Amino acid sequence: MAKFEIPPPPTKFLQLSYPAPRVVLATMSRPKDLNCMNTSAHWEMDAFWKWLDLEPSLTVAIITGSGRAFSAGADLKEWDNSMADDADPKDRLGNAPAFKPLSRRLGKKPVIAAVNGLSMGAGTEFAVNCDLVVASENAYFALPEVKRGVSPIGGALPRIIRTLGLQRASEFALTGRNVSAQEMHAWGLVNSVVPLPKLIDEAVKYATMIAENSPDAIICTRAGLREGWESASVERAVEITLEREFAALQRGENILEGLKAFTEKRKPVWKASRL
C-alpha cells in the first residue's frame, strides 16, 4: 500500500491504483453507463485532481475507463431532469460549475489519458486537455453535442483549435462524427495507438518516463508548455462563450428538445435558431 503525506479522497466513481513509483492510475468505473459522469462523479474528480497536485509523492496521473468506454461524457438523463419546468434554473447542469472539470483543469502535474474505447462529449473534452493521450486501436472520439441540441462547452472548442487547427476542429465539432484513434493520431491529438491489451502498459511507460525526472522540473516545464498553449487565453475564450452564446442556448427550445429526444430514444425535431 502506497504511503501518502495527504490521504487520498474517498472515491466511488474512480478506482485508484499505483502501477509505478510516483504514478497514480484512476479508472472511471460506471461501465454499465459507459462511464458517463453525473454531478457526484464530477465533484469526486475535482477532489482527486486537487489531491494529485497537493500530494508530494505523486508526479503524474493516468486516467482510463472500465468496460468498453473511456467515457460517454455527461449524464444526459440527469441533465434532462435538471431542465424540467419545476427544476431550479440555478441547478441546470449546463451552468458554469463551482469547480473546473478535467476538461478545463489547469493544475500543476501532468495527466495522461489512456482511451480504451468510445470517448464521447465530455470524455473527449477530458482527453483534449490531457498532457498526453494514448489510445487503443478500437478507440474513437466524438463531440456529438450538436446532435443533442447542446454544445461542447466544457473547454474543448478553443483547445482543439490550438491542437487540430480551424478546419479539422470545425469538421470534428460541427459534424459530431466519430473519429478513429488512428485518424486522431494523424491529426496530432493522440501520441500513440496500441492494441487494447497493451494500453495501460503504454500509458505507464510514458508516465514512468515522466516520473523518473525531477518533480520540480516537471511542474515548471509543464507550466511553460501550458502558458504557451493558452496565450490569448483559452480560458477566457471558454468564459466568454459560456457567458454569451451558451447562456442564450440554455434559454432556447432546442436544448430541451435534444435532451428530451435522447431520453425518449427518438430523433429530435429542431426549431429555427433564436440565438
Q: List CB contacts of 24: < 8 A, sequence separation 6 or more.
A: 16, 17, 18, 52, 58, 60, 61, 62
For the chain, percent of residues with pLDDT exceeding 90: 64
pLDDT band at 96 (very low <50, low <70, confident <90, very high): very low
CA distance 202 to 196: 10
Domain ranges for the chain, please list them: 14-212, 215-264
CB contact at 8 A, 226 and 130: no
Helix (H) or strand (E) holding 63: strand 60-65
The percent of residues in the chain predicted with pLDDT above 70, rounded, is 88
| pLDDT tens-digit map of 37-90 | 888 888 899 999 999 999 999 999 999 999 999 999 876 666 555 555 665 555
pLDDT of 181 above 90: yes
**CA 224, CA 231: separation in Å to the nearest integer?**
11
The full DSSP string for 4-18 is -SSPPPP-SSEEEEE
Averaged pLDDT for residues 7-26 = 96
Span between the terminal Cα atoms of the chain, in Å: 54
> CA 49, CA 148: separation in Å to the nearest integer?
29
* pLDDT of res. 148: 87
Sheet of 140-142: strand order equals: 69-71, 118-120, 140-142, 179-180
Dump pLDDT digits (tens) for 183-215.
Answer: 999 999 999 999 999 999 999 999 999 999 999
Between 230 and 253, name the one with better pLDDT: 253
Q: Inform me whether the pLDDT recorded for 95 exceeds 60.
A: no
Residue 93: the pLDDT is: 54
User: Which three three-digit cell numbers place residue 234?
Assistant: 483559452
- Tens digit of each residue's pLDDT (9 = 90 or more) over 231-257: 767 888 888 888 888 888 888 888 888
Tell me, which fold does domain 14-212 have in CATH?
Answer: 2-enoyl-CoA Hydratase; Chain A, domain 1 (3.90.226)
Is the per-residue pLDDT at 144 higher than 80? yes
The amino acid at residue 114 is A
